[in-house]
Structure 1
Amino acid sequence: MRALAQATVDLGAIADNVRTIASVTGTGLMAVVKADGFGHGAVPVARAALRAGAGWLGVTSASEALTLRDAGITAPTLSWLHRADDDFGALIAVGVDVGLSTTSHLHAIAGAAHRLGVPASVQLKADTGLSRNGAGGDDWSELVGWARKYEMEGTVRVRGVWSHLADADVPGSPALPRQVATFEEALGIARGAGLDPELVHLANSAAALSAPATRFDLCRIGLALYGVDPFGATGPGEFGLRAAMTLRTTVVNVKRVPAGTGVSYGPEYVTSAPTTLALLPLGYADGLTRAAEGRAAVLLGGRRCPVVGRIAMDQCVVDAGDLPVSIGDPVVVFGPAAEIGTPDGPETRDQAAPTVTEWARWAGTNPNEILTGIGARVARDHFHEGAESS
């Protein structure tokens, strides 16, 4: 039975993005595959990124890290968000680095390592201004002191020191140099306590591409890995990134209606002239957020057609005007930016598929939320150089 919609993931684009970013940074790269690879599929994305030269994988949770290990992926992996009573022994046993920023977590990890008889590899996170996770001030000094103690006892190995940036995607942000300075100070405190981390990393996608002072030993690439410009360009942007996901469906019903026809719940949309309405089997449970109502569009019949009326849980309606539309016609909800004005491509934006960045703007959010919101009912189809590999 075919799914009602497909998210097609171009693993070749993932690989190209890794190589493109590495050519800019000149550093090692950590491919961030949390949230099931930003909705693209963590395991196939991880494999594609590693083949292209990424040296590390990054995830949020223990379950995500263990999923990679269960799939036979043995590459260095950092997992960085945990409860203090998580089963750290499971991560230590499979060689996953644990990111931490509290002494409670550190004590628990050291205890698990002692029981297992294997040292835990950890990476200490400093708070440099995001005020989220990470340790700062006296907490940082205490954390690195305990980490050095455990390191000398042989239960912990401090492999890395890292932090995260607050607004690297804002050109000229005064916060960025302040965060770099705070990070360097925290690194100095760690080294002063006797730690000698082999990995120091701060840069996310935006900083990796635009802020050399943030690159250090390793850059963590999330959004850019998936081909979305972190500075908001609707196309490849100046860095030439390639969007990896295309969200497709088909028309499941067609109606020709007169002027004055209400559409969907409410109705909040009423047709102003005779028109053709096309029903799509995608709704907010599949990732088409209601916040985009009244602004969103899809590509149908070679033209952008507006999504009209309220988006329901399982379906939405498109106003196709006078286009000839039939049941089964293909629809592109979003995909890679088309080249405008090329002989083989669309001549105007109205003939190009929307991008995920445009959907994010219509919804008043970021592309990350749109990508990770694509629901489980949407089939993921992966391909690389023409070979299907779901």
Structure 2
Amino acid sequence: MNEKASLRARAEIDLAALRANVRELRARAGGAQLMAVVKSDAYGHGAVPCARAALEAGATWLGTATPQEALALRAAGLDSRIMCWLWTPGGPWREAIEADVDVSVSGLWALREVVAAAAEAGRTARIHLKADTGLGRNGCQPADWPELVAEARTAEESGAVRVTGLWSHFACADEPGHPSIAAQLTVFRDMVAHAEKAGVEPEVRHIANSPATLTVPESHFDLVRTGIAMYGISPSPELGTPADFGLRPVMTLAASVALVKQVPAGHGISYGHHYTTPAETTLALVPLGYADGIPRHASGRGPVLVAGRVRTIAGRVAMDQFVVDLEGDLTEPGAEAVLFGPGDRGEPTAEDWAVAADTIAYEIVTRIGTRVPRVHVGA
């Protein structure tokens, strides 16, 4: 039995495709540096292998949400610049400073915790001041920006911190032409100008995420932060497929068929009998379920390539498995069932699953659970 068939399921991660995506995104970023965002285990693709591949392809920064994610990259031996941005009071500031991680500061409480941690560590902390230019999540409001900048400058003068970045995040960059994009850029430029007039000399100014990297060139500044696009998924399906942007999906999710059997007409399938066989038929059991990240709300709609054709899940997705009606076609236990991939073989894509589950492809790839092994190829 081959290695693929011996696995219940697997998420195959094509690192060659990831490197090609990074090179394409770098080309689109012009002269700006590229931060490879590897938060949430690299959007479900495996943080350390993907980070290494991105750096090999020319990324100069790595980005994470949590400090724990950043520290794990350092522990794995990655020595590039790393930034993390999602902090809560009492977080591991000192550990991050000692690991040479750039940390984001959105308010005075965070700045003061950084200053205290820098004193404990006996080192200067590198910080990025985040501006809330209109997204309304993290970041400092324009009205509070002068006070934050002033206190950051005082901390710089004392040697406690070095303001290495000024940054923000778009709300609607995946909707080109949305009026908020130009509005946020104006606010960002104003807030950057205020900080620089106060004496801040950032290494990088950055606001562009994946969609802005692809469609809003005036937002590139010194650095772009690419997340979902790096993994070959279009951040704006309305504007184009991954191929339209020169990208290739990196993850293929597949499983080995666990059982094939004949059943009569009128046979109920899975919990609640939401599907009943219309005629005598063949069923294939696929050993993936919502505990693996397969959306239960894609029951009866999720597409799967099995026995040479794309089928739809029959009945409800259970915790560990679902059923496909082969409509009389035959296959064998151990045959491959492909839920999504690049689409080269006619298999569904993550975007197809997003449509079936009424969500976005970001969620489809990031929700694949830890009991599905990541198999990295193309290293």
- After alignment, is 158-167 or 329-338 more displaced? 329-338
Q: Alpha-carbon deviation of 1:30?
A: 0.2
Q: Name 2:18's counterpart in structure 1.
A: 14
- TM-score, with structure 1 as normaliser: 0.93
**1-side partners of 2:29 and 2:181: how far apart?**
17
Alignment of 1:188-337 (within 5 A): 188-232=193-237, 235-337=241-343
**2-side partners of 1:3 and 1:33: how far apart?**
26
Are 1:81 and 1:100, in contact at CA under 8 Å, matched by a contact in 2? no
Alignment of 1:55-134 (within 5 A): 55-134=60-139
1:242-280 residue CA offsets vs partner (Å, 9 max, x unmatched): 111101111101121222111000111111122211101
Work out which of the residue numbers 146, 150, 165 in structure 2 matches 1:145.
Answer: 150
Determine if the alignment matches structure 1 residue 374 to structure 2 residue 365: no
Are 1:335 and 1:354, in contact at CA under 8 Å, matched by a contact in 2? yes
Alignment of 1:356-375 (within 5 A): 356-375=350-369
Q: Alpha-carbon deviation of 1:171?
A: 2.5
**1-side partners of 2:209 and 2:241: how far apart?**
20
**1-side partners of 2:176 and 2:160: how far apart?**
42
Q: Name 1:342's counterpart in structure 2.
A: none
One-letter amino acid of the structure 2 residue matched with residue 366 of structure 1? I
Number of paired residues?
373
SS at match of 1:321: coil
Are 1:261 and 1:271, in contact at CA under 8 Å, matched by a contact in 2? yes
Q: Alpha-carbon deviation of 1:3?
A: 3.9
SS at match of 2:273: coil
One-letter amino acid of the structure 2 residue matched with residue 7 of structure 1? A
SS at match of 1:266: helix
5+ residue gaps, structure 1, are: 339-345, 347-351
Q: Alpha-carbon deviation of 1:235?
A: 4.3
Change (3 A) 1:322 1:235: farther
5+ residue gaps, structure 2, are: none
Are 2:123 and 2:160, in contact at CA under 8 Å, matched by a contact in 1? yes
SS at match of 2:127: strand
Are 1:296 and 1:359, in contact at CA under 8 Å, matched by a contact in 2? yes
Q: Name 1:343's counterpart in structure 2.
A: none
1:83-119 residue CA offsets vs partner (Å, 9 max, x unmatched): 1211211000010000110110100001110121100
Q: Alpha carbon RMSD of aligned pairs, Å?
A: 1.3
Are 2:104 and 2:128, in contact at CA under 8 Å, matched by a contact in 1? yes
- After alignment, is 318-327 or 31-40 more displaced? 318-327
SS at match of 1:382: strand
Q: Alpha-carbon deviation of 1:237?
A: 3.4
SS at match of 1:360: helix
Alignment of 1:7-46 (within 5 A): 7-26=11-30, 27-46=32-51
Are 1:306 and 1:320, in contact at CA under 8 Å, matched by a contact in 2? no
Are 2:303 and 2:352, in contact at CA under 8 Å, matched by a contact in 1? no
Q: Alpha-carbon deviation of 1:302?
A: 1.5
Determine if the alignment matches structure 1 residue 168 to structure 2 residue 173: yes
**1-side partners of 2:313 and 2:354: how far apart?**
15
**2-side partners of 1:282 and 1:358: how far apart?**
17
One-letter amino acid of the structure 2 residue matched with residue 246 of structure 1? T
